[in-house]
Amino acid sequence: MKKYYSIAIDGPSGAGKSTIARRCASAFDFLYVDTGAIYRAVGLASLRAGVDRKSASEVSGILPGLAIDLRYNDSGEQRMFLNGEDISDAIRLPEVSICASDVSALPVVRSYLLEMQRQIARTHHVIMDGRDIGTVVLPNADLKIFLTASAEARAQRRLKELREKGIDTDFQSVLQDILYRDEQDSTRETAPLRRAEDAVLVDTTELNFEESFSAVSQLILERFFTVDTVEKETI
Ligand code: DC
């Protein structure tokens, strides 16, 4: 059976995981899988259905009616579809971020999405980013990275991103959003956000994008592309 390589990048919201992972995927020819987008799809569906997002029975009631589909366009960009509708932009709205965090705390949602994520990694070389990729989804990933930054630095970056998309908001509300999600994502009982013991910590508080990208690329190069690694793997 062909061996597919996997890189797990976990960390809190706004640490730069998706931008860095996407760029590394294209540089090293891996498939980028943004697992947060999958939770966002469920968050958006629960918002639209008007169900109580903290109620396992209400949210599990809508799951069978959801056809969540990850597709890639010609430039390798991940697009999310929900029952045939392209929801890639809708899931980025701040209110959907909170809904995604709420529904992601429910074990029924996590187990529903687990197999979908593993199946992609069984059939592609992947860089997968999320909260529990190195701890739960791909515990045997070939490389695990825990990417983090201070809450303030993350809020500043997220604010810039939202403003560039024309979403009108301010620093305090973005920071509150981040703190709410940090707390909820790391204290939930099922698959909380935490660094896997064998994950390499990369703190980007003091790094700009290029420096962060370079730090992560270096880890990938060392793990997969040095002569030493190639020799070890062919022995
Ligand atoms: O990475 P993101 O901000 O797009 O993720 C949205 C929410 O989904 C986040 O608050 C926590 C949840 N999530 C998760 O619980 N596990 C993952 N692997 C990815 C995201």
Per-residue pLDDT tens over the stretch 74-115: 888 899 999 999 999 999 988 999 999 999 999 999 999 999
State whether the beta carbon of 188 lies less than 6 angstroms from ligand 1: no
State whether the beta carbon of 181 lies less than 6 angstroms from ligand 1: yes
Structure-block tokens of residue 97:
């971020």
Q: In what order do the strands lie in the sheet with 6-10?
A: 31-34, 126-130, 6-10, 143-148, 200-203
* Topology classification of domain 6-223: Rossmann fold (3.40.50)
Q: What are the sequence ranges of the domains in the chain?
A: 6-223
CA distance 120 to 126: 8
pLDDT given for residue 234 in this prediction: 53
In the predicted model, is pLDDT for residue 71 greater than 70? yes
* Mean pLDDT computed over 215-225: 95
Dihedrals phi, psi of 137, to nearest 5 degrees:
-70, -50
Q: Whose CA is nearest to atom 13 of ligand 1?
A: 36
State whether the beta carbon of 117 lies less than 6 angstroms from ligand 1: no
pLDDT given for residue 131 in this prediction: 95
pLDDT given for residue 99 in this prediction: 95
Average pLDDT, rounded, for the chain: 93
pLDDT given for residue 168 in this prediction: 86
CA distance 221 to 153: 27
- As a 3-state breakdown, the chain gives helix, strand, coil percent values, each rounded to 5, of 55, 15, 30
| pLDDT tens digits along 174-191 | 999 999 999 999 999 999
CA distance 42 to 38: 7
* Mean pLDDT computed over 137-162: 95
State whether the beta carbon of 40 lies less than 6 angstroms from ligand 1: yes
